[in-house]
Amino acid sequence: MMKQLLQLDPARYERHPIHRGERDWAETNCYVDIWIELLHAWGCEPIAALPFTFGIDFEGDQWTFFKFPHGDLFDLYRLDVQELAIWRPLATHVEEQVELGRPVLVELDSFYLPDTAGTAYQIAHVKSTVAIVEIDTAAQHLGYFHGQGYYRLNGADFVNVLRVNDRNPALLPPYVEIVKRRREAPPRGADLVAVSLSILRRQLERLPDENPFEKFKARFQTDLTWLVNESLEAFHSYSFATLRQFGACFEQSATYLRWLRERTDRPLDRAITAFAELSSGAKTMQFHLARMIARKKSLELAPLDQMAVKWATGMNELKAIYA
């Protein structure tokens, strides 16, 4: 029997504007993207929850893998996110939780996710998080949010992605979360903006102690000595953890500030420009890095100095207004 908490048709599903139109980064990361669409499908505005994007840092060998904080999701939307212990077959857990009205966020293998056709599906084993809201175990059917939209899979993909017939104890269960909606109505309109602003102010208290682009430039310069001799596959992995990570994140920062500008009277144009240029600059540098590896040539690092200035400009503008 079908268990379904949202009645959605992949062919007719209308994505959130973040996943439509022209952007530097069509996708952010798997966790952020599914939350954007899940909140959107529930009639909530995910942009209000984007202040967390300002707090990312360079972590030594990668940039912060940015994610919606669970506390922010509760404050803004009255959503309670909890980890689910997997002690029975995964499909059994998913079926029960969806029947209880709870989306199941689970790390799956993109090798069996048809929506990744051309990149990972039947090509590469890549871990990615999806949000399951529809399941029929008997019919081997699954409906889920992933990336930019809503999708379904069936048959052998269902059996393989949920490890239905795999009882190998050496394969550890995936990390799984469930999302519970509280009965209390979440804030709307001006109240939503007020809560979002309180989260922004809290986030501005948690900014990195040092300019992360200064740290990144030093490490990046060292990494280039070995990266120039690596394959394009290594480039993609490196870029995902560095350039794409902060580029996609700061594009969301600019998106949030545009949303805020429409709802307040604060002068945010300089900060918006700074974060938007960090996003586009990361995109340009990603292109130049790929060309460097392909042609075995040097790479100009001056743009990272400019990014450091833009980061400082944007953060100082925000702290002057909201801190």
**d(C-alpha 37, C-alpha 145), whole Å:** 7
Domain count, the chain: 2
Residues 59 and 159: their CA atoms lie apart, in Å, by: 37
Tell me the per-residue pLDDT of 216-272, one tens digit each, with 9 for 90 and over: 999 999 999 999 888 888 999 999 999 999 999 999 999 999 999 999 999 999 999
Tell me, yes or no, whether 12 and 160 share the same domain.
yes
Instruction: Let me know: does 74 contact 80? Beta carbons within 8 Å.
Output: yes
Specify the pLDDT at position 167.
Answer: 78
pLDDT beneath 50, residues of the chain: none
- Whether 171 and 252 map to the same domain: the answer is no
Which domain, by its residues, includes 300? 189-322
In this structure, is the dihedral angle defined by the CA atoms of residues 76, 80, 82 and 87, taken in order, positive or negative? Answer: negative
pLDDT of amino acid 166:
83
Query: Which of 147, 181, 215 lies at the terminal end of a domain, its last residue?
Result: 181
Cβ density class 158-183: b for 16+ within 10 Å, e for less: bebbbbbeeeeeeeebeebbbbeeee
181, 203, 236: which is the final residue of a domain?
A: 181
Residue 258 lies inside a defined structural domain of this protein: yes
CA separation (Å) from 114 to 117, 141, 156? 5, 13, 11
pLDDT score at 169: 73
Do 243 and 197 sit in the same domain of this protein? yes
Position 63 scores a pLDDT of 98
Quick one: pLDDT at residue 297? 80
87 and 16 in a common domain: yes
Q: Name the amino acid, one letter, at 132.
A: I
User: What is the Cα 277 distance to its own chain's centre?
Assistant: 20
Structure tokens, 223: 């990494």
Residue 100: φ, ψ to 5°: -80, 0
Nearest to 35 by CA among 18, 23, 20, 60: 18
Instruction: Tell me: do 158 and 267 sit in the same domain.
Output: no
55 inside domain: no
Instruction: Assess if residue 143 is contained within a domain.
Output: yes
Residues 203 and 316 in one domain: yes
Q: Are residues 127 and 234 in the same domain?
A: no
Place of tokens 């949920």: 162
CA distances from 323 to 6, 94, 196, 272 (A): 40, 43, 14, 17
Does 62 map to a domain?
A: no
Question: Tens digit of pLDDT for each residue in 30-66?
Answer: 999 999 999 999 999 999 999 999 999 999 999 999 9
Dihedrals phi, psi of 277, to nearest 5 degrees: -75, -30
Q: Quick one: 211 and 157 in the same domain?
A: no
Residue 68 belongs to a domain: no
Are residues 19 and 167 both part of a single domain?
A: yes
What are the residues whose beta carbons fall under 8 Å from the beta carbon of 11, sequence distance 6 or more? Answer: none
Instruction: Let me know whether 31 and 85 are in one domain.
Output: yes
- Domain final position from 135, 153, 181: 181
Say if 252 falls within a structural domain. Answer: yes
One domain for residues 203 and 157: no
Q: What is the 3-state secondary structure (H, E, C) of the chain?
A: CCEECCCCCCCCCCCCHHHCCCCCCCCCCHHHHHHHHHHHHCCCCHHHHHHHHHHCCECCCCECCCCCCHHHHHHHHCEEEEECCCCCCHHHHHHHHHHCCCCEEEEEEHHHCHHHCCCCCCCCCCEEEEEEEEEECCCCEEEEEECCEEEEEECHHHHHHCCCCCCCCCCCCCCEEEEEECCCCCCCHHHHHHHHHHHHHHHHCCCCCCCHHHHHHHHHHHHHHHHCCCCHHHHHHHHHHCHHHHHHHHHHHHHHHHHHHCCCCCCCHHHHHHHHHHHHHHHHHHHHHHHHHHHCCCCCCHHHHHHHHHHHHHHHHHHHHHC
Joined tokens for residue 61: 């060998």
Whether 70 maps to a domain, the answer reads no
Tell me if 60 is assigned to some domain: no
pTM of the model: 0.94
Q: Are residues 83 and 17 part of one domain?
A: yes
